[in-house]
């Protein structure tokens, strides 16, 4: 009889605090990337994320650990840009 091994292969959770990030305005974010000569997809790939995951994270349609991590990264990036203005 085969026992379930789904927990054996589970990855450990990050110990980062869970913070609430409201859905972001996709048009505002796209405009910022266009201004910089970049795209959301290129930014996501450059940082090791799937572009589809990135778009879902921005729209707030998904809320898993990877989505939260991307949203934190994007928020940090946008804060850097706004600080330069």
pLDDT tens across the length of the chain (85 residues): 555 444 444 444 555 555 555 566 888 888 889 998 999 999 999 999 999 999 998 888 877 899 889 999 998 888 887 777 6
Q: How high is the pLDDT of residue 12?
A: 46
HEC letters along the chain: CCCCCCCCCCCCCCCCCCCCCCCCCHHHHHHHHHHHCCCHHHHHHHCCCCHHHHHHHHHCCCCCHHHHHHHHHHHHHHHHHHHHC
Using only C-alpha atoms, the chain has a radius of gyration, in whole angstroms, of 16
pLDDT at 37 (0 to 100): 93
> Does the pTM exceed 0.85?
no
- Spell out the domain ranges in the chain: 26-84
Could you tell me how many residues make up the chain? 85
pLDDT of 9? 45
């Amino acid at each position: 009889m085969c026992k379930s091994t789904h927990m054996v292969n589970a990855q450990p959770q990050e110990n980062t605090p869970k913070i609430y990030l409201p859905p972001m305005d996709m048009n505002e974010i796209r405009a910022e990337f266009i201004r910089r000569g970049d795209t959301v997809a290129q930014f996501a790939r450059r940082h090791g994320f799937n572009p589809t995951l990135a778009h879902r994270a921005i729209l707030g349609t998904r809320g898993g650990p990877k989505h939260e991590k991307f949203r934190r990264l994007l928020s940090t990036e946008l804060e850097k840009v706004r600080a330069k203005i």
